[in-house]
Amino acid sequence: MVSSLLLVVVFVFDLIAFALAVAAEQRRSSANLAKNIEGRKYCQYDSDIATGLGVGSLFILVASQVIIMVVTRCLCCGRAMRPSGSRSWAICLFITTWLTFLIAASCLLAGSVKNAYHTKYRDLLGERAPSCQTLRKGVFGAGAAFIVLTGIVSELYYVSFSKANNGGVPPYARDTGVTMSNL
């Protein structure tokens, strides 16, 4: 039986994670060259809020994935599912859920780490300007896109798992003992 409350909770978590990832993409750090009192050039970075938004998005995405995996017992624990098309879909969607989750988590984690990295002084001799490294555009956006895919696939996985898990009498529940009624 599919729990509508669980689907709503997972949807809300994924929606919040998506919103945080989009906000992180919009608030990426940017840098400008500036000179200090001694005349040395350095990189001056603006706010670093995108790192916190990316990490927050990652934590909420992980919470959403944990909820789905605990409820479905990660597909491998618990009683066996009955053979059906729903079981096949549940297995395929389980693998797809983990792939999209790993890609989304990688984008969010890499984006947060790279966004938090700030270069120091690079022109010790004063001849070259430092390269002010910043995060490429689209890393958090890719994470947001894969958050959406993870949310859709994980909810489809849960529905398929529920259909395969609760769809009647499992095949092993029949009498498997030796009967003497035919003699």
Q: How far apart are CA 113 and CA 135, in angstroms?
A: 9
Which residue range forms the structural domain that includes residue 49?
4-166
Asked if residue 48 belongs to a domain, the reply is yes
**Structural domain includes residue 155:** yes
pTM confidence score:
0.81
Whole-Å CA distances, 27 to 5, 46, 49, 135: 33, 10, 7, 11
DSSP per position, 14-30: HHHHHHHHHHHHHT---
Model pLDDT, residue 12: 97
Separation between Cα atoms, residue 163 and residue 84, nearest integer Å: 9
**Count: domains in the chain:** 1
Q: What is the pLDDT of residue 75?
A: 77
| 177 in any annotated domain | no
Helix (H) or strand (E) holding 44: strand 41-45
The DSSP code for 75 is G
96 part of a folded domain = yes
Residue 128, domain member (yes or no):
yes
Tens digit of pLDDT at every position of the chain (183 positions): 678 999 999 999 999 999 999 999 998 887 777 777 777 777 777 877 999 999 999 999 999 999 999 998 887 777 777 777 888 899 999 999 999 999 999 999 999 988 887 666 555 555 566 677 777 889 999 999 999 999 999 999 999 998 887 755 555 555 555 666 555
State the pLDDT at residue 76: 78
Pick from 93, 67, 60: nearest CA to 164: 93
Domain membership flag for residue 178: no
Question: Is residue 133 included in any domain, yes or no?
Answer: yes
